[in-house]
Chain A
Amino acid sequence: MATTQAPVPVSTIRASSQRLQCPIKTHSLHFATNSSNFDKLVKASLSLKQSRKKTLTIPHATPSSSPSPPTTFHGQCYVLGDNIDTDQIIPAEHLTLVPSKPDEYKKLGSFAFSGLPSSLYPIPFIEPGTDSTQYLIIIAGANFGCGSSLEHAPVALGAAGVQAVVAESYARTFFRNSLATGAVYPLELEQEGVNKQCTTGDIVTVDLERNVFINHTKGKEFVLKPIGDAGPVIAAGGMFAYARKTGMIP
């Protein structure tokens, strides 16, 4: 049971590791007796390499036969400003939907960003009459996902079809919940004001190997902070899935 994933080399560029709330979790119902193994696993998984600016390598040694995790996302982007709070991402009246029920999960997705004021965001995120979005990548300003600590915000985005959010910075609850659920990749930009240089509908690429965000329509490229240890967690499908995949829990 004490198998250890080869530690993923990570860049120590600023807030990527700061943002790393829950890289790996493991559990046992008999927690007390397994605590020494447990501590070893946690230490191994949480140790950050001191080397700077290494490119992220996606681990290959996954025990299951699932496809290797994505390294790029490509598609149309939807552009937002600063301080987009959870009520704009998913209005509170829809919180009666229980995300662990598959049909309600889908319904939650259909309401993603329905809280945005249409005066500021005239282009609907989801076409009326449909339940998923054509905008696979969100570009946002600072403090994305502020407000509630409910998971419904990243879950709604994931359910709607969003693959990645590229923001200037995140509220900690949104970032943490994105990791825990594996719903979306929460990527952070190195520079400020990138959202002001993008327009909804631009064709963009997020490249996790080179840590760049490319806006093809505008012909611009921006540096991303490496997602680090958080990457494999999201790729696996969240905390529990990652722990299971890497053999840390049965």
Chain B
Amino acid sequence: MASSAISHHSAIFSANKEVGVKSSLNSSSNIYKCRKSVLCKNLTVMAAAQLSRAPSTTGSVKHGMTMTEKILAKASDRAKLEPGENIWVNVDVLMTHDVCGPGTFGIFKREFGENAKVWDREKVVIIPEHYIFTKDERANRNVDILREFCIEQNIKYFYDIKDLSNFRANPDYKGVCHIALAQEGHCRPGEVLLGTDSHTCNAGAFGQFATGIGNTDAGFVLGTGKALLKVPPTLRFELDGEMPPYLLAKDLILHIIGEITVSGATYKSMEFVGSTVDSLNMEERMTLCNMVIEAGGKNGVVPPDETTFKYLEDKTTVKYEPLYSDANARFVADYKFDVSKLEPVVAKPHSPDNCALARECKDVKIDRVYIGSCTGGKTEDFMAAARVFLASGKKVKVPTFLVPATQKVWMDIYSLPVPGSGGKTCSQIFEEAGCDTPASPNCGACLGGPRDTYARMNEPMVCVSTTNRNFPGRMGHKEGQIYLASPYTAAASALAGFVTDPREFLG
């Protein structure tokens, strides 16, 4: 089809642009772009051929499909498809939250009728979590709107909250939607998950197609259970080597975004493979896929394996079918990273691709540290921060805000022992280090929020954060400066009062 040829063309153009992009980490990283210019030439030849005939009608040479292509093929009942094709997919799960739910429901009713019913009451997951612990009346009203809709439609999965003064008094309330989806078993290999939030790509860690959509698209899915999607070509990222003890998945994805820029994966899928990826646990894989959107990516995927299946064992009984890229699948570009040579990094203000070595920012005085969000507020993230505080034994020099993503994470912080601490929990270590008390689980100040949001930046200041975006005004104040970092780097920075490489404290 012509459309797929054109998408290959633009892939060539974008790949060409990237060849000229300077890697900001040349000295310490070992990045190998796999024959990109040769790939481009091959694509040119293939694209030209496709302009004159449609492969599906002439039975052309069969080639393999990438994981994303396979998942979309299955979801659209197609034997095969090509990047660039517009296809109708069956949606397995649709998620919305308090910011987009009301608008989505408004559109649903306007288009399908006041008495319309959602396509499947068990496939819609409604999670209030963005602006919860606030006195903002509209924010509170939006949660009520979610509830009214769920009652009317008899929605099975609604993680409600009524008592805003005490999150623990709400047994259904979960917290940050993307982590709640994972913890509640809604993320499954081979499926299509759409959500009204950019970090829906987080779920790609489970080997499924997951991406963010707007209210209108979501309203359409609510009524029909289908979505019109364009098949993205895939960028492949091979991460090999043993993960150094001072590095986390957040460092890996910041390196990658720094390499390909904030538009490097636009309209594309990002597939993460390699021995390092295999060694990551599910939460670390989520961190990797979570920030795919920050590179402009449509979705991210990690091949499911025993780690995935084990995680899902006690969370879901729904049958799933893992899908994997064929050996002869075509990728638009290949990147190889030797992880053992990478160093901790930060994304400096004001862009997630403004990548720099943490140790080269050690003169940057900071005012606060924020550890939270779907990107950096999971159990593993807090365990990591606790390890740094434990190793140091000292107190933080700046206000350090801890916002667990979900109720489960909050409970883990208060109950799981931190290895090597003699049985202390994260919460005890945080208290001894002088951090703020872990707050109510929600999205919090990652995106600023209503003015009274806990840890919102209401004056210009410098913050090291485990969150996902640092564009101007992201955490509240337009002149605020946000350094995105891993939990290790965030904790180290809190202890030093400056942006700090975690190797200052970790072996």
Contact = CB atoms under 8 A, between A and B. Distances in A.
B451 interface: yes
23 contacts: A14-B6, A14-B13, A18-B267, A22-B86, A27-B220, A83-B263, A87-B471, A88-B472, A92-B447, A92-B448, A92-B449, A96-B99, A97-B138, A98-B138, A100-B107, A115-B472, A147-B293, A149-B197, A150-B99, A171-B266, A173-B214, A180-B217, A238-B216
Interface stretch (A42-50, A57-65, A129-137, A196-204): A42-50
Contacts of B99: 95-96, 150
Contact of A239 (B131, B220, B225): B220
A249 B399 CA distance: 56
Q: How large is the interface on A (under 10, 10 to 19, 20 to 34, 35 or more residues)?
A: 35 or more
Contacts, number: 188
B230 interface: yes
Question: A-side binding surface: helix, strand, loop or mixed?
Answer: loop
Contact of A96 (B136, B198, B212): B136
B100 A118 contact: no
A118 B477 CA distance: 12
Most B CB within 10 A of own CB, among A22, A50, A101, A116: A22
Given A87-B447, A87-B473, A116-B472, A149 B214 contact: yes
B3 interface: yes
Interface of B: 1-3, 6-7, 9-10, 13, 51, 84, 86, 88, 99-100, 102-103, 106-107, 110-112, 116, 130-131, 136, 138-139, 142, 145, 196-198, 200, 211-217, 220, 223-226, 228-230, 262-263, 266-267, 293, 296, 298, 351, 447-451, 469, 471-474, 476, 478-479
A177 B473 contact: no
Nearest to B474: A87
A31 B224 contact: yes
Question: B-side binding surface: helix, strand, loop or mixed?
Answer: mixed
A143 B472 contact: no
Contact of B212 (A87, A98, A149): A149
Contact of B266 (A31, A88, A143, A180): A143
B9 A14 contact: yes
Contacts of B224: 27-29, 31
B236 to A, nearest CB: 19
Nearest to B261: A143
Contacts of B211: 149
